[in-house]
Structure 1
Amino acid sequence: MTNQWKLKEIVLMSILGVVFGVIYLVFFLVGQGIRNILVPFGLAPFGYEIIFGIWFIVSIMAAYILRKPGVAFTAELIAGVVEVLLGSAAGPGLILAAAIQGLGAEAVFAATKWKYYRLRILVLSGVSAAVFSFVWNLFSAGNIALAPWLIVSTLIVRMISGALLAGVLGKWLSDQLAKTGVLRGYALGKELKRKRKYGAA
């Protein structure tokens, strides 16, 4: 498999980035709502952590579908740019945050030399994105000043969210999309075709 991106792969990656950029912006409001609900219980810092994995999902999906170096990072970056262009309250700094999240996701695929895309790899990629983004937020958002127990617990919640909402959900959504046949010209669609041909589970 060549590592050079084809035009159709660039187009699909861009479409995913734009679509999830919009979704990310919506989930910012969802996170704010959850945070407001948790305030009376003293658990406001967990408001966004519970759903933080959703902000990594495009990197997982794009990488799983296209299986090329740099796809996870680029898709996440595109989504971040779209969020900013749509008026995210986070401002331009969000682009840097998206780049860091993308690097975290990409790191796991790079460690496998972009050869393995099993569920456990996707889950690890989501967890890695969570850790990268968490470390960045410790300093960019001043979270380093939080109580140690709160730092540890929010990190654990973000890692779980990254594993489930980015890794597991990202794979499931991609597989469902592939089953429709719209991805037959891409790596994931071709893999599905081979499995059907040879009766693999």
Structure 2
Amino acid sequence: MTKQWKLKEIVLLSILGVVFAVIYLLAFGIGQGLVGALTPFGIGPLGYEFIYGIWFIVSIIAAYIIRKPGAAFISELIAGVVQVLIGSPAGPQLIISAAVQGLGAESAFAVTKWQDYRKRVLILAAVLTAIISFAWHFYSSGFFAYEAWLVGVMLITRIISSILIMALLGKWISDQLAKTGVLRGYALGKEHQQNRDQDAA
């Protein structure tokens, strides 16, 4: 697999980053609603964790479709920058968080030298992203001020959310797009075509 980027891959990466920047902002509102609902029970911080995987999903979709070094990191970074530009309440610090999340996802693919995009690697990317991003937020967002049990539950919830939303949902969305034929010029689309040809043989 060539590691040289094609123009159409760069364009798709940019489109994904922008589209998911908007989705991420919408998810922020949902997260706030969950925090508000859980705060009376003393577990408000868990609100965001239930859906945290959504803020990682573009990295999996981009990497799984394009399969080039940097796809996970750059797509997440683009989404972070666009969110700031269109007025995210999180402010410029969001760009650092996006970079951390992108690095978390990218690290899983780096382990396989960007050659393996099976489900287990996508799940590994989800777990690493959840853990690395949580470590960053532990200090940047002041998680250390919470009780130990709550921090533990938050981490476990983020990992589960990341696996379900980032890895499994991200893979499903990508596979559904590939089945339509719109990705036939990309690595995932070619893989699907090869599988169809083998089934037909």
Which TM-score applies when normalising by structure 1? 0.98
Q: Partner residue of 2:117?
A: 117
* Matched-pair contact (CA < 8 Å) for 2:21–2:83: yes
Give the secondary structure class of the aligned counterpart of 2:10: helix
Q: Partner residue of 1:176?
A: 176
How much has 1:155 moved relative to structure 2?
0.3
Structure 1 residues 146-187: Cα deviation after superposition (integer angstroms, max 9, x where no partner): 111111110000000111100000000000111111100000
Q: Partner residue of 1:63?
A: 63
Alignment of 1:28-67 (within 5 A): 28-67=28-67
How much has 1:89 moved relative to structure 2?
0.4
The runs of at least 4 aligned residues of structure 1 exceeding 3 Å deviation read none
Q: Partner residue of 1:188?
A: 188
CA distance in structure 2 between the aligned counterparts of 1:15 and 1:122, rounded to whole angstroms: 21
How much has 1:43 moved relative to structure 2?
1.6
How much has 1:126 moved relative to structure 2?
1.1
* Matched-pair contact (CA < 8 Å) for 2:38–2:47: yes
**Structure 1 vs Structure 2: percent identity of aligned residues?**
63
- Where does structure 2 lack aligned partners over 5 or more consecutive residues? none
**1:11 and 2:21 are equivalent in the alignment:** no
How much has 1:82 moved relative to structure 2?
0.8
Alignment of 1:70-81 (within 5 A): 70-81=70-81
Alignment of 1:80-159 (within 5 A): 80-159=80-159
CA distance in structure 1 between the aligned counterparts of 2:132 and 2:81, rounded to whole angstroms: 19
Give the secondary structure class of the aligned counterpart of 2:96: helix
How much has 1:104 moved relative to structure 2?
0.2
- The amino acid of 1:3's aligned partner reads K
Give the secondary structure class of the aligned counterpart of 1:199: helix
- Where does structure 1 lack aligned partners over 5 or more consecutive residues? none
**RMSD across aligned positions (CA):** 0.9
Structure 1 residues 124-152: Cα deviation after superposition (integer angstroms, max 9, x where no partner): 11111111110000100111121111111
* Matched-pair contact (CA < 8 Å) for 2:43–2:150: no
Moved more, 96-105 or 116-125: 116-125
Structure 1 residues 74-105: Cα deviation after superposition (integer angstroms, max 9, x where no partner): 00000001110110000000000000000000
Which TM-score applies when normalising by structure 2? 0.98
Structure 1 residues 21-53: Cα deviation after superposition (integer angstroms, max 9, x where no partner): 000000000000111111122221100000000
- The amino acid of 2:115's aligned partner reads K
Give the secondary structure class of the aligned counterpart of 2:120: helix
* Matched-pair contact (CA < 8 Å) for 2:81–2:95: yes
How much has 1:106 moved relative to structure 2?
0.3
CA distance in structure 2 between the aligned counterparts of 1:61 and 1:94, rounded to whole angstroms: 20
Give the secondary structure class of the aligned counterpart of 1:154: helix
Moved more, 60-69 or 34-43: 34-43
